[in-house]
Amino acid sequence: MNIPEFLYNRLINSYGEDLTSKIIDRYNLKRIVSLRVNTLKSNIDEVKEVLDKNNISYKEVESIPFALIVDSDESKLKELDIYKNGLIYLQSISSMLPPLYLDLVKGSTILDMAASPGGKTSEICALSNNEIYVTATEVNEIRRDRLVYNLDKLGCKNVTTLRVDARNLDEYFSFDNILLDAPCSGSGTIEENDFSKINDKLVTNITKVQESLLRKALTILKPGKTMIYSTCSILKEENENIINKMMKEFNIEIVPIEVGFETLPSKIEGVQTIMPSELNEGFFICKIKKL
C-alpha cells in the first residue's frame, strides 16, 4: 500500500475498512476524458458530427445532456477547431455537476467565489443562456487572466471578474445565488496512485480557508436564497464537518439533491459525496438555503 498514512487514517475514520479499500483501488485508475458542449456556441449534434469526421468515438452521459465521454486524449481534442473556437470545453463529469443545482433565474445575480479557470462559470452562463449577472472572483493575477480569456472564448456575457480574495468581499455585496467550489486537498481527484499533491499540512490549512469562504458566502447570500458548496475532496474534514460547523453559526438548512452516480455515505441527509471512479472524480456537493 503506497497511500500516505495520514490519508489512509482519515479515510478509515470516515468510511471504514471496506469502503477505504475500494477507494484505494479507484485511486489506481486513469480517468476517462470528457467534454462539455458549450451551448452558447454550439449543440451536441454539431459536436458529434465533428467527432465522427475525426474518427473519435464518444458516449453520451445520460444525466448530463450536454456532456460527452470521448475515446481520445486531450491533446488530440485540442487540435480541433471546435476546441479552439470554444464550442467545447474539456471538463470532468463531476465538475459539471455543481452548477446544475443552482437556482438560476433570469435577471438574478450570482457569485462564483473561486472561478478560475472558468469551467463552472462558463457553464453557469450556458445554463442561463447569458440571462443572469455573474460576478467571478480570482485573487491570482495569472489565473484571473486565464479566467477572462476562457470566458471570452466561450461567449460568456454579463460577467464581471474581480481580482480579489473572495473572503475579503465587502459585506455591502449581496447575491441571489452563490457557487463556492472551494479550494481543497484534491483527495477525490487522485488517479494512478499519484499522491504528490496532497499532504497532512495541506488538509489542515485548506479547511481554514474553506471555512472562511463559506462563512463569507453565507453572510452575503440573500435570505431565502440558496447556494452550492462543493469540493473535489472526499474527506469529511473538508466537507461535512465544515457544513455542521456552519449550521451552528447560521440559520440555514440543507436542500436535498441527487446526483445519479455512485456515492459515499454521509451523516448529513441530502448532501452528496461522489465515489471516485474511472468515470467520476470524487466530489462533494451540498445545497444550502439561508433562512
Mean pLDDT, to the nearest integer, of 126-153? 97
For the chain, the domains span 33-90, 93-290
Is residue 155 within 8 A of residue 88, CB to CB? The reply is no
φ and ψ at residue 237, rounded to 5 degrees: -60, -35
- The x, y and z cell numbers of residue 125, run together, are 452562463
Q: How far apart are CA 51 and CA 42, in angstroms?
A: 13
Mean pLDDT, to the nearest integer, of 220-241? 98
- The x, y and z cell numbers of residue 246, run together, are 456552519
pTM summary value = 0.97
Q: What is the DSSP letter of 175?
A: E
With a pLDDT cut of 70, the percent of the chain lying above it is: 100
Q: How far apart are CA 44 and CA 290, in angstroms?
A: 36
Instruction: Name the nearest CA neighbour of 219 among 209, 207, 227.
Output: 227
- The x, y and z cell numbers of residue 239, run together, are 466537507
Q: How far apart are CA 80 and CA 252, in angstroms?
A: 46
pLDDT in tens, 56-115: 999 999 999 999 999 999 999 999 999 999 999 999 999 999 999 999 999 999 999 999
- The x, y and z cell numbers of residue 78, run together, are 485540442
With a pLDDT cut of 90, the percent of the chain lying above it is: 98
Dihedral angle, C-alpha 230, 254, 204, 185, nearest 10 °? -20
Q: How far apart are CA 246 and CA 156, in angstroms?
A: 33
Give me the catalytic one of 156, 184, 232, 286: 232
Q: Which residues pair with 111 in a beta bridge?
A: 135, 178
pLDDT in tens, 177-190: 999 999 999 999 99
Residue 155 has pLDDT above 80, yes or no: yes
Known catalytic membership, residue 232: yes
Helix or strand holding residue 252 (H, E)? strand 252-255
- CATH number for region 93-290: 3.40.50.150
- The x, y and z cell numbers of residue 47, run together, are 459536436
Q: How far apart are CA 239 and CA 210, in angstroms?
A: 9
pLDDT in tens, 160-174: 999 999 999 998 899
Distance set, CA 23 to CA 7, 185, 191, 209 (Å): 11, 16, 11, 26
pLDDT in tens, 35-53: 999 999 999 999 999 999 9
Q: How far apart are CA 170 and CA 167, in angstroms?
A: 9
Query: In terms of DSSP H, where are the helices of 28-179?
Result: 44-53, 74-77, 81-84, 93-96, 119-127, 141-153
- The x, y and z cell numbers of residue 77, run together, are 481534442
Residue 151 has pLDDT above 70, yes or no: yes
- The x, y and z cell numbers of residue 169, run together, are 468581499
Identify the CATH assignment for 33-90 out of 3.40.50.2020, 3.40.50.620, 3.40.50.10190, 3.30.70.1170: 3.30.70.1170
Q: What is the pLDDT of residue 1?
A: 58
Burial 12-26 (b: 16+ CB within 10 A, else e): eebbeeebbebbbeb
Taken in order 128, 134, 139, 144, the sign of the CA dihedral is positive
